[in-house]
Structure 1
């Protein structure tokens, strides 16, 4: 679509422009905003379904509140595309999630309208409470609004924020965006509770009549809380969870009726104290393919906006699979032969591949909701009772469960297998999702094994080895495909702490950990052709290190290069140098990996090049050994 095909979209460069529209024009603007998001994401992939679901809510919030003076905090933030477009980033939106472009999530340094950065779930209420408290301390009459999804509400941090805000009686508005979906359908008792509220016919019928009268009679707005409490207690016949936390509960309301939303939000601005508005939305709203298959269209990749046909990557069945598929197929194989094996995921069964086990053995696969700490401690309980839990959590999300790993798993020596998907540079999701720190934060824990497969066969064998009862066991692997099409090999136990000499040499020893070893192998081969004899060692384990291998490297080589897809600060390279120092070896060493800074969005290959461990970067480093 060209600019001329839009009546309203290109007239709105800020929320101030949005507030000049009439209510009827606002409806038209929302339609155009949704169309623009679909057109943009068809060519430049991103989080589609969640952003389509909050178009009207986003417009209503900016229409009613005086942003950026009033603060909007988006939980996770993958639903904030409409927010970015409204707040002056429409013309730069084509660079969303691209190198040097817009972040795919709210980012404080990007815009004054991004009141708090996002990327991980359940943070918005605590952050909004802090912002609201600061405003009160300064005597500022600004509003703080947290928008949180029902999936993110399953995280414990969200309830910590609700509990604190209710007790403090802080002037805060929480918008509960209830679409019954995270990436996969939501699970748990909270989902059922919200469903009972939203589907109570008697309550909703009377509530809707009450709202209608209140809109016509401003004086009755003062009775909102009393009416709401009577309705909820009388018709739901149960105490309201949010009211019990001292939040005034309002709703549920239609999240796609922008007129009603603006009226309700205007009323809520006048009510002091902690408030929660329950908004019902449809993920993927307004685009039928996204509404029909909400899991796929959470982030569908490139697609045809007219037909909904998604781009395929081709393939004839002989191409290497995604690591997550190998994990999913492998845990199913292991579970068939060992009835103690179970799978655990914090709301990512499709993303991590556990949906494969879930389909065949649903009783042995547990989606615990967006609750990483609980996922780890739940796994520890399973292990304490004799099960062999495979707890699959994305690397950057495992950061949220660090104490659970130490206190509940490692300290007790429990055989929990922690599979860290998306380890290393993940690409377009940017700094909040890069799996940079897991090697560093895991290897500091006593009595834990930290391993990384170089290919799919190694992943299978490490999973098999971990299932044999090796205590706390971490397996990290990257986002994307591996290198082996013949990956369905018989299982083989790998000796813990044993690396592999893949190639011998005399000039330099190159030690790698994990999938990046495949790039190292290419660089070593190229360097050999250009006159540098490089040995290549696949460490396999960041902890324990292969002492026999490292002693040989220390004795034979005056120069070493360590390559890892993780932070060089405290990573496996640091571990190798600690070993060399402890035993009196003094090689000249160079560490390649993620530098000591946060890495933004871009393709994986672009980011590896920036960090210096793409093929060219590794090759150039090896060639420094040329005599």
Structure 2
């Protein structure tokens, strides 16, 4: 095997073209073996094998700096920079992250997991190089729809004006996570169809030089192109046409499904885990599509991730113009929703918690200052969701809960979620966000309210005394467990409260609890700092009430075991009951 002899990029330079092609085959085989057993980003990495080999064949990493946008396509880069065992030995599969990470290697320059950032980061590296008189190349690799994000345009615009060495490799596989959206991609198609000769050229218009490589999965063609632009004194775009999922027929045929996936059967491409279970994404898609049939003013908005709301290709076709995919442009999605709501439409923007961070200013300025009744469904706002440092669902509560005019709701189960979502769509008074309750679908017996316009009214699920547990959203089950333990272990009949409203206080109930309770416990599936519990603690500050706040400490936890994380934050029923009894006995 050639791969077993690659310890650093320099080891590529003694290989012939035929040997490099054999190496590419070995890399694909290793990728598929690991990804089929472990899961991860499949299509993006299979499509980047030859380009990554050529980059490391021509450029001198880490002196020459390669920045991968999103960096979910950096697996081959890791294999060629001393980390091959994490792809060859199953015992080492978890030794590297799915994204670039400077703690792993000097060949990784940033921890990156969100999109459209590479060109801006590369501009910064290039500027610092020029200020200190350096001569290294700076290369940004961008693809999978990342050009649709506004920051990508901002970076390209700045690069064009800077007029210095910066090489942008545009990996054009004609896909985002799903299909591409946005007018820019029409120009990319025009450039592909004209072999890069179309007079209308987005990149040249921004002041960048331009080079097109039709055979973006050919090592020799890529090597020639990269040698041509190496040490360029000007910013240049190398536009390479690649095939997402190349070398694995199921991934080539089903590009959206194989963008990222859980373990699958290598022979058939079918998932190894049994499907068929309920999923909030699928349930949301059904709910919205059903209402679209009778409400022509209802529109679902996604920023490049239609599956977050269960909009499969079939459902996308049925929704037609009532579904808008803005590309990977969360900022635009929020402002678009505000405009639709202002004009009488009923927009629902579905977004993962980790990506809602990208549009704070639009939430505050374009939406909430104007008070327009748009709806935002926030998915995977939970410790039980994605667990790498770049995709945490911990931080949406502090972010959203402190924006004026926004109503942020925390349902405890599927039934309450859809009751809240239905109300949010019908009402016309407030911008409303609904925090989808965790990763796994939970059902609870009703009935549940259908109207939530009387704001900040908490729901008492069990009325007791001495200790009150305010269990928010997906942590309601933890509140039930804690209450049961207090009853069993100390005979305490705790009051259990479903707060429902993250953004406000039920002053009447909180005052009432002062009469016969000594302690209040708050539970939230998110970061404690700036979160829901701190609002309760501040309210009780001048009173004798003892308050215990439970949630996640402020940190970029990375690739954690959920059980270990919960225990480390004392987020088990046993630990919470123990803490409560320590202060009330």
> Is 1:541 the equivalent of 2:498?
no
2:424 to 438, 451, 466: 466
Aligned residue for 2:470?
Answer: 511
TM-score, normalised by the number of residues in structure 2: 0.94
Report whether the alignment pairs 1:338 with 2:299.
Answer: no
CA contact (8 A) 1:93 1:102 kept: no
Shift of 1:391: 1.1
Shift of 1:523: 3.1
1:554 equivalenced with 2:514 (yes/no): yes
TM-score (norm 1): 0.88
Per-residue CA distance 1:437-467 (angstroms, 9 max, x = gap): 2111112211110111110111101111111
Are positions 1:112 and 2:106 aligned together?
yes
Cα pair distance change 1:94/1:547, threshold 3 Å? farther
Pair 1:378-2:336 in alignment: yes
2:458 aligned with 1:499? yes
* More moved, 473-482 vs 280-289: 473-482
State the match for 1:249 in structure 2. 210
Unaligned runs of 5+ residues in structure 2 are none
- Name the residue aligned to 1:403: 361
CA distance, structure 1, for counterparts of residue 466 and residue 282 of structure 2: 39
Distance apart, 1:259 and its partner CA: 1.7
Q: Which whole-Å CA distance do the structure 2 matches of 1:342 and 1:96 have between them? A: 45
> 1:324 maps to what in 2?
281
* RMSD over aligned Cα atoms: 2.4
Structure 1 pair 460–89 and aligned structure 2 pair: CA distance change class (3 A): same
Q: What is the number of residues matched between the two proteins?
A: 581
Superposition deviation, residue 424 in structure 1: 2.4
2:386–2:392 Cα contact (<8 Å) kept: no
* Change in CA separation of 1:314 and 1:375 when aligned onto 2, cut-off 3 Å: closer
Instruction: Verify the 8 A CA contact 1:382 1:389 in the aligned structure 2.
Output: yes
Q: CA deviation at 1:86?
A: 1.4
Q: 1:294 aligns with which of 255, 277, 286?
A: 255
Bigger relative contact order (CA 8 A; separation at least 6): 1
Single out whichever of 28-37 and 474-483 deviates more from structure 2. 474-483
Aligned residue in 2 for 1:212 = none
Q: Give the whole-Å Cα distance in 2 for the aligned partners of 1:380 and 1:65.
A: 46
Question: Helix, strand or coil for the counterpart of 1:574?
Answer: helix
For 1:80, the equivalent position in structure 2 comes to 74
1:348 maps to 305
CA contact (8 A) 1:443 1:543 kept: yes
Displacement after TM superposition at 1:199 (Å):
1.8
SS in 2 for 1:560: strand
Inter-partner Cα distance in structure 2 for 1:427 and 1:98: 23
Give the whole-Å Cα distance in 2 for the aligned partners of 1:270 and 1:439. 46
User: How far, CA to CA, are the matches of 1:447 and 1:111 in structure 2?
Assistant: 45
- Partners of 1:556 and 1:491 in 2: CA distance: 27
- Please say which of residues 526-535 and 558-567 is displaced more in the overlay: 526-535
Question: Contact 1:48/1:299 (CA < 8 Å) preserved in 2?
Answer: yes
CA pair 352-506 structure 1, distance change in 2 beyond 3 A: same
Q: Give 1:602 deviation, angstroms.
A: 3.0
Match of residue 379, structure 2, among 421, 446, 449: 421
* Partner in structure 1 of residue 143 of structure 2: 149
Match of 1:564 among 524, 531, 537: 524
Q: Render the CA deviation track for 1:16-54: whole Å, top value 9, x for unaligned.
A: 223332222111111101110110111111111111111
Q: Deviations over 1:408-462 (max 9, x none)?
A: 1111110011111121225455121112221111122111101111101111011
The aligned counterpart of 1:367 is: 325
For 1:98 and 1:9, how far apart are their aligned partners in 2?
16
Q: What secondary structure sits across from 2:534 in the alignment? A: helix
Displacement of 1:100 in angstroms is 7.6
* CA shift digits 1:175-214 (9 cap, x unpaired): 00011112111112112211111122xxx3xxxxxxxxxx
What displacement does 1:357 show? 5.4
- For the structure 1 residues 445 and 526, does the alpha-carbon distance in structure 2 shift closer, same or farther, using more than 3 Å as the test? same
> In 1, Cα distance between the equivalents of 2:357 and 2:382?
13
Structure 1: runs of 5 or more not aligned: 1-6, 205-230
CA deviations 1:324-344 (Å, max 9, x no partner) are 222222222333343322111
Judge conservation of contact 2:165–2:231 (CA < 8 Å) in 1: no
C-alpha deviation, 1:359, in angstroms: 3.7
Match runs of 1:120-269 below 5 Å: 120-200=114-194, 204=195, 232=197, 236=198, 238-269=199-230
Query: Relative to structure 1, is the Cα distance of residues 379 and 165 closer, same or farther in structure 2, using a 3 angstrom cutoff?
Result: same
Does the Cα contact within 8 Å between 1:96 and 1:103 map onto a contact in 2?
no
Corresponding residue number in structure 2 for 1:23 = 17
Q: Cα deviations across residues 218-277 of structure 1 (Å, max 9, x unaligned)?
A: xxxxxxxxxxxxx72xxx2x3311111111110033221012111211111043210000
Secondary structure of the equivalent of 2:261? Answer: coil
The answer to whether structure 1 residue 90 and structure 2 residue 84 are counterparts is yes
